[in-house]
Amino acid sequence: MAHVPTITLNQGPAIPQLGYGVFKVDPAEADRAVTMAFEAGYRSIDTAMIYRNEKGVGDAIARSGLDRSELFITTKLWNDDQGYDSTLRAFDASLGRLGLDYVDLYLIHWPKPSQDRYLDTWRAFEKLKADGRVRAIGVSNFTIPHLERLMKECATVPAVNQVELHPSLAQEELHAFHIRHGIVTEAWSPLAQGELDAAPIKSIADKHGRTPAQVVLRWHMQRGIVAIPKSVTPSRIRENIALFDFALDEEDLAAMKTLDTGRRIGPDPETF
């Protein structure tokens, strides 16, 4: 089974560099999908309240027979639940659906600047961390100004910022900012939701005898980024973790760089 490297977070625990994401996995399918992921060797699962599949993820965890300490479970607070008291209530509900005593990583799903509640939300996250109910707290979709404000006004530096990141949105500037502040960059839509047909990706894949998805995921690994690809297809679930026996060379990395046009697939965090 693949040995997935880990990255130690600024708040202590180590996150597997490759995890399994369950956005758009039907709630009724989540149990089966996560069970397949465990069988393939994934130990990190990324869900969220808004995916409506925390219960299925929890059922798979309960049936897996895996020791809780081997797993790294992430969930996220939805925008409507931002605010101090509402965050604490939403967290209790997520934990109940997952059937767990703690989560490894809890993320503010979006900054939602129009609501301006992420500082109060973060103070509730700090309480959950102090109470031992989450091992690490982080954010998602935060820009540099959002992070700067959070770090100026609050005591805890986020462990992780989970953002849209794939070859056409390489997020060089944000990733460099994260490195300076000890924040781990986690890529959502790491496979650009399956858009893998750019010519350089195809030719690098042919050169190494690998698939386009493996090339893109390997690119994330070599940049020191955590990636959480989603698939409900058994062969792809296995393909996406078979990454640790080959490497991209300098020429490959230079070719990947030409794909970075700054094009987003998902919403802009400033306005969403």
Ligand X SMILES: NC(=O)c1ccc[n+]([C@@H]2O[C@H](COP(=O)([O-])OP(=O)(O)OC[C@H]3O[C@@H](n4cnc5c(N)ncnc54)[C@H](OP(=O)(O)O)[C@@H]3O)[C@@H](O)[C@H]2O)c1
Using CB under 6 A, count the residues that bind ligand X: 29
Return the structure tokens found at 230.
Answer: 């989603």
Contact indicator for 84, 121 with CB cutoff of 8 Å = yes
CA dist 125 and 134 (Å) reads: 8
User: Given candidates 91, 106, 188, 219, which one binds ligand X under the rule CB under 6 A?
Assistant: 188
Binding residue (CB under 6 A) for ligand X from 194, 249, 258, 264: 194
Q: Does 21 bind ligand X (CB under 6 A)?
A: yes
Instruction: Using the minimum distance from each CB to ligand X, give the nearer residue, 115 or 130.
Output: 115
Site for ligand X in 158-177 (CB under 6 A): 162
Q: Decide if 136 contacts 75 (C-beta within 8 A).
A: no
Q: What are phi and psi of 164, to 5 degrees?
A: -65, 125
Judged by DSSP in three states, 39 sits in helix
- x/- map, 212-251, ligand X, by CB under 6 A: -x--------------xxxxxx--x--xx-----------
Residue among 16, 58, 167, 190 that touches ligand X (CB under 6 A): 190
Segment 26 to 65, residues that bind ligand X, using CB under 6 A: 46
Nearest distance from residue 203's CB to ligand X, in Å?
A: 17
Is residue 83 within 8 A of residue 112, CB to CB? The reply is no
Which position's Cβ is nearest ligand X? Answer: 21
Q: Rounded to 10 degrees, what is the CA torsion of 75, 77, 78, 81?
A: 150
| Helix, strand or coil, per DSSP, at residue 231 | coil
Q: Quick one: which of 3, 52, 5 has its CA closest to 25?
A: 52
Which residue out of 51, 84, 102, 118 is catalytically annotated? 51
For this structure, is 102 an active site residue?
A: no
Binding site for ligand X (CB under 6 A): 21-24, 46, 109, 140-141, 162, 188-194, 196, 211, 213, 228-233, 236, 239-240, 266
